[in-house]
Amino acid sequence: MPNGALIIVDVQNDFCPGGALAVAEGDHVVPAINRVAPRFDVVVATRDWHPADHVSFASSHEGRDPGETVYVEDLEQVLWPDHCVQDTPGAQLHPSLDLRPVDLILHKGTRKELDSYSGFLETDHRTTTGLAGYLRELGVSDVTVCGLATDYCVLFTALDAVDAGFRTRLLTDAVRGIDSPEGNIEAAMDRMRKAGVTFLESDEVG
């Protein structure tokens, strides 16, 4: 498999301009993704698919605001505005994202009590999404990660891909980040680099 799998992380309306948890220029990742997706043997798109009372929503914790951190059964949980609620327009993949090359749309964060940044593992670092097994069954050994947001779901998807034994690349012109707190994107890139993730741009994909 020359290029292996492309993992498109959470390119959803709520993470794009005008959405409930918009990433600056989030929609700018779409053209690069559309260009390269047909060059991969397997393409997976993940999306947050939260119940309306999800643990990550500040609205689910009385007196708490987005940006605060709480502990839920010993797990640290950053609180966010309500976003990507199941079967709402905000949870849908961006309308300009070409879904024709996509082999699997993977839902994550579907359980009320457990968040999921990574496409591979929930935030308890024990509950799997099934993605690693799916890719191994298809003979995939190399994955390339892109999408939103660099310093959260992209970061943890890439790190977990490495931990799962995949050779992992980051498509640097097809990611955008939140950068909260300031410097978070740079720190995320550094973590990925140190973990063994290699970086490339879309025009370098064969």
**Cα(202)–Cα(206) distance, rounded to whole angstroms?**
9
**Active site amino acids:** 10, 108, 153
The string over 11-42, giving b where at least 16 C-beta atoms fall within 10 Å of a residue's C-beta and e elsewhere, is: bbbbbbeebbbbbeebbebbebbbebbeebeb
Distances (CA, A) of 19 to 97, 137, 140, 155: 16, 35, 33, 21
Q: What angle do CA 41, 34, 152 make, to 5 degrees?
A: 90
Judge contact between 36 and 169, C-beta under 8 A: no
Q: Of the candidates 131, 77, 105, which has an alpha carbon nearest to the alpha carbon of residue 11?
A: 105
Place of tokens 């025009």: 203
